[in-house]
């Protein structure tokens, strides 16, 4: 069996005293593009934070490229994060920098490359997302879909070994969404990157990913290839794939008290 690029071994994580992930294990093979899906508040973004080393598990291990993040020094963790690309919801660009300066930013920040080479790399990255020629534009002159593609060009500027996407499709019209999804897949294949994408867009992601993990109640409750997910008759998966509001996945925040108690309607209350 090949060594996975990302491995969670019995990871438990709580914010303060509120458990979010419970003894969760999964592996992502090198070069794969995987989706993490689950109900709102199920801990998907927390999973990305654990992979990037922003937070540490209270129990278990998070290994990336065979290394336990908890054992890394500050300098090693910094290097680990430098090898990662992030594309988050609304992929915020620096509004006072041009498109070209936005894409050049990580290259200037993290390398000693000469300006001419940085300019060439910016051109190549913008070309990869179909936006060569926009270098001099300001972010305010871009459509939402174009801005997301510039953010993607910036995220891949340093040729990351690992890409983390958090809701990369949010707020996009269907055509821009299709373009971004296709680019994510194309760039992943071309660069050999391993990528983890948190998304609510079941159908679009099933078109592009290699594998899907479903998170609920702090665990991976189902997983499979897109073909397996589409063919599954598991009620969990059907609820996601069919977008049913009712089903085994609960979307309510787990309030510590009942609604009746909050409204003063339980026995014993006046």
For ligand ATP, the binding residues (CB under 6 A) are 15, 20, 38, 40-46
What is d(CA 136, CA 104) in angstroms, rounded to the nearest whole number? Answer: 12
Output the smallest distance, CB 17 to ligand ATP, in A: 10
Are 223 and 36 spatial neighbours (Cβ–Cβ below 8 Å)? Answer: no
- Cβ proximity to ligand ATP, 150 vs 209, nearer residue: 209
Closer residue to ligand ATP, CB minimum distance, 14 or 77? 14
The CB-of-181 to ligand ATP minimum distance in angstroms stands at 18
Nearest CA to 151 out of 204, 205, 89 is that of 89
Q: How far is the CB of 199 from ligand ATP (least distance, A)?
A: 9
Please state the separation of Cα 265 from the chain's center in Å.
42
Cβ proximity to ligand ATP: between 40 and 225 the closer is 40
Phi (first) and psi of residue 201, to 5 degrees: -85, 85
Which residue, among 154, 167, 170, has the nearest Cα to 48 in the 3D structure?
167
Q: Which is nearer to ligand ATP, 50 or 122 (CB)?
A: 50
Nearest residue (CB) to ligand ATP, 102 versus 205: 205
Give the nearest distance from C-beta 108 to ligand ATP in angstroms.
Answer: 30
Using only C-alpha atoms, the chain has a radius of gyration, in whole angstroms, of 20
Q: Which is nearer to ligand ATP, 42 or 188 (CB)?
A: 42
Edge-first strand order for the sheet with 211-216 is 84-88, 162-166, 194-198, 33-38, 211-216, 219-224
H or E segment and range at residue 116 = helix 115-128
Which positions ≥6 away from 104 have C-beta within 8 Å?
A: 118, 119, 121, 122, 157
| Number of Cβ atoms within 10 Å of the Cβ of 187 | 21
Closest approach of Cβ 255 to ligand ATP, in Å? 11
Shortest spacing between CB 66 and ligand ATP, in angstroms: 25
DSSP at 61? E
């Amino acid at each position: 069996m090949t060594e996975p690029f990302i491995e969670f071994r019995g990871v438990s994580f709580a914010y303060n005293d509120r458990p979010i992930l419970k003894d969760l294990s999964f592996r992502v093979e090198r070069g794969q593009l995987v989706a993490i899906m689950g109900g709102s508040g199920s801990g998907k973004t927390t999973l990305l934070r654990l992979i990037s080393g922003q937070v540490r598990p209270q129990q278990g291990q998070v290994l990336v490229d065979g290394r336990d993040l908890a054992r890394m020094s500050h300098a090693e963790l910094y290097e680990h994060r430098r090898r990662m690309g992030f594309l988050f919801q609304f992929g915020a660009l620096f509004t006072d920098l041009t498109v070209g300066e936005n894409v050049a930013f990580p290259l200037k920040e993290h390398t000693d490359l000469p300006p001419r080479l940085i300019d060439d790399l910016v051109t190549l990255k913008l070309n990869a997302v179909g936006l060569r020629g926009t270098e001099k534009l300001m972010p305010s002159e871009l459509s939402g879909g174009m801005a997301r593609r510039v953010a993607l060009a910036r995220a891949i500027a340093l040729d990351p070994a690992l890409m983390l996407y958090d809701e990369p499709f949010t707020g996009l019209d269907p055509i821009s969404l299709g373009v971004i999804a296709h680019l994510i897949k194309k760039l992943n294949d071309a660069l050999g990157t391993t990528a983890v994408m948190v998304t609510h867009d079941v159908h679009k992601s099933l078109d592009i990913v290699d594998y899907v993990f479903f998170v609920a109640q702090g665990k991976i409750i189902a997983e499979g290839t897109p073909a397996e997910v589409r063919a599954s008759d598991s009620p969990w998966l059907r609820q996601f794939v069919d977008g049913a509001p009712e089903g085994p996945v609960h979307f309510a925040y787990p309030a510590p008290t009942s609604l009746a108690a909050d409204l003063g309607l339980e026995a014993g209350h006046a």
